Chains A and B, each alone.
Chain A
Amino acid sequence: MSKTDATAPAPGAGFDLLHFLARYGTILSLVLLIAFFSFMRPEVFPSMRNMFNVLNQVSILGIIAIGLTVCLVIGQFDLSIGALATFGGYVAARMLMEIGPANGTPMVVAGVVLAVLFMAMIIGIINGALVSYLGISAIVETLAMSFIVTGVILGISGSRTISPTEIPAAFKIIGQGNIAGIPNPVLIMIATALVLWLFLEHTQPGRNMYAIGGNKEASRLSGIPVKRYALVAMGICAACAALGGMVAAANLGAGRPQGVGETYLLNAFVAVFIGASTLRPGKFHVLGTAVGVLMIGVINNGLSVMGVPSFWQYIVQGVLLILALISASMMVLRR
């Protein structure tokens, strides 16, 4: 199956700046940002330690955003990812607290993590079923689901945060340990990205998802079970959100019943939409999302190590994101 790019310049044409910016504008922006921050704080920003630090800081956002990418590939929205991230972190910590920190062996922790992923996936599948089989708006339905999940967590938690002493060390290693110097959250993000990239780009179900996102009706007529794929995509998205929440809980060693996922919800969408302006304009894809996530992380980290006051960080982050997206939207201007 050959792929065509509608934005590609005609064969034989010279260098097309607009086309270049449309495909590589965000990557160019990312490189320029890294160069700028490295120039401003050469002793801090470009150090290997800080590079791992940047990756570590975006890892939770990355896991959630990559899951969201799958959902957006088939043309669905999921606004419950914030609540599901909180759900993942809190429920895992709560289950381990109930089992007892002393009994939290690696096998028990693995069982709890799988159980939470399974529960989150079920919630995602319910989202998918309601959206695809009943035709409910995904935005409204997933928002409603986020209310339900938030309410359940607040109800069972009594608004009490589970403290580090109540969580076994084997769980905290997920967020605080490292392998060969690479923080575990970074490894989990890379593994998630790799698995979902392979799934979307190199398997038939993944290609079917792109086909559904491109033209739902044509996909249905060509025999692709469109509704069933909504269950799969939203199940994956929910599981990734819960995984991100568990990494956040393990990282800080606390099971927080609120204020976890809300932090990542909007940034996840920002990252995925930056990604859709990268390499393949207009298409959601894992590599693009990774660029979007990195861009957010580099901006936050760079401004922070430069000692820029918080209110400037908001302003500069917004301006830089707009500039990056303008460069990537040149094709739209040309049309």
Chain B
Amino acid sequence: MATKAKAFAAAAAALSLSVSAGAALAEIRVGIVAVNYNSPSINRQVVTATEAARERGWTVEDYDGRGDQVATNNAAMAFIDRGFDAIINIASPNPQMIQVIDYAAERGVPFVSTFSGLAPGIVADIGSNNTADGVIATTELMGRLEGRGHVVKFNWNVLPALRERDHGFHATVRDFPDLRVTEIEVRVPGQVDDAFNQMTNLLLANPDIDAVWTGWDELVAPVVRAIEQAGREDDIIVVSMDGIPEVFDMIRSGGPVALTVAYDVDRMGSTAVAVVEAALGGETPASRILTLAPCLVTQDTAPAQGERPDFGNCTLFSGEAFAAQ
């Protein structure tokens, strides 16, 4: 009888623990913050993270910093003060959110981010290996230029991910002494118009330009527009990183845009939620940086209009297609 009572008590305790755990998970509230919510790829990450969280029955609130990092930090602090269970930061530089990250750690609130860089105290930052992506794009470019010529590099070295891509560029071109590089730090906001104007001016002042390396895809369209306006679309190559539909269209059409390293931004949002779930269950990843595989999109591998690359089966290396034959 005593054994039966003990077994019953144990079963009841287990049941009650599992019910309370389930109830706790169902009541989870997640705050999502983004310093620039309406940037297309950032917006996709917010959307997919929100969907993934709601599929789990969680409550989600988001905040758009509209370019204001201080306001973004304040919003994240407010989520923590209101008792939210986790914070997801979408592409707001983690090094500028140290105070929030520390505060979250004090309160035991997991802080997970995407494309935001490494900072002490985060559970993980989900993104890509941007340095490697910078190397990949630059290596492909060097292969097309035979390691010489004049390359213009457009970037904005404020964001951690863009800085990392820049490091990849510099690491690669260091060993090409016959390569001339003109570096342009674009003005943000106004980066699209600035890229167009600067490229137009550079083409006038430097007829020897052979290629353009842009730190992210948003700059590709204005650069290409300037190249086309100058009538140089047949002899200038453009390479980039990001993977926005507009650039897929340009690559597919066979113009100056040779390739982009495309990121699976949809999966970054949902992975951030999976990491939050694991963290709430007491599991943290071994590395604070979690990278997802990108795709090398060229004219041969560009997805059909309106479609995304097949991230499950694509490759990042241009020789794979030949090796498979």
- Contacts from A to B (Cβ < 8 Å): 41, 44, 47, 49-50, 53, 56-57, 60, 154, 158-161, 163-165, 176, 248, 251-254, 256-260, 262-263, 300-301, 304-307, 309-311, 314
Contacts and interface: CB of A to CB of B under 8 A. Distances in A.
A158 B40 CA distance: 9
B319 interface: no
Top 10 closest pairs, chain A to chain B, by CB:
A263-B190, A304-B201, A310-B185, A163-B246, A305-B205, A159-B38, A159-B43, A44-B205, A57-B197, A262-B189
A164 B246 CA distance: 8
A301 B202 CA distance: 10
Contact of A165 (B43, B187, B222, B249): B249
Contact of A263 (B38, B43, B189): B189
A138 B137 CA distance: 49
Given A256-B192, A258-B38, A262-B189, A53 B201 contact: yes
B79 interface: no
B149 interface: no
Given A44-B204, A252-B222, A258-B38, A310 B197 contact: no
Q: Is the interface on chain B under 10, 10 to 19, 20 to 34, or 35 or more residues?
A: 20 to 34
Given A309-B185, A310-B186, 6 more contacts: A158-B43, A163-B221, A251-B225, A253-B225, A256-B192, A301-B201
Given A252-B192, A300-B197, A310-B185, A164 B221 contact: yes
A160 B47 CA distance: 13
B229 interface: yes
Nearest to B250: A164
A304 B196 contact: no
Interface of B: 37-40, 43, 182-187, 189-194, 196-198, 200-202, 204-205, 221-222, 225, 229, 244-246, 249, 305
B43 A259 contact: no
B197 A304 contact: yes
Given A305-B204, A309-B185, A163 B249 contact: yes
B259 to A, nearest CB: 18
13 contacts: A49-B204, A56-B200, A159-B37, A252-B225, A253-B225, A257-B38, A259-B189, A260-B192, A263-B193, A300-B197, A301-B197, A304-B198, A305-B204
A53 B38 contact: no
* Most chain A beta-carbon neighbours within 10 Å: one of B182, B198, B204: B204
B250 to A, nearest CB: 8
A252 B196 contact: yes
B249 A310 contact: no
B201 to A, nearest CB: 4
Contact of B40 (A160, A306, A314): A160
A248 B190 CA distance: 12
B222 A161 contact: no
A13 B39 CA distance: 61
A191 B1 CA distance: 99
A160 B38 CA distance: 9
A307 B222 contact: no
Given A154-B38, A159-B40, A259-B191, A254 B246 contact: yes
A251 B191 CA distance: 15
Nearest to A254: B221
A307 B204 contact: no
A314 B221 CA distance: 24
Given A49-B204, A164-B246, A252-B221, A259 B190 contact: yes
B39 A159 contact: yes
A253 B192 CA distance: 12
A81 to B, nearest CB: 15
Contacts of B38: 154, 159, 257-258
B26 to A, nearest CB: 29
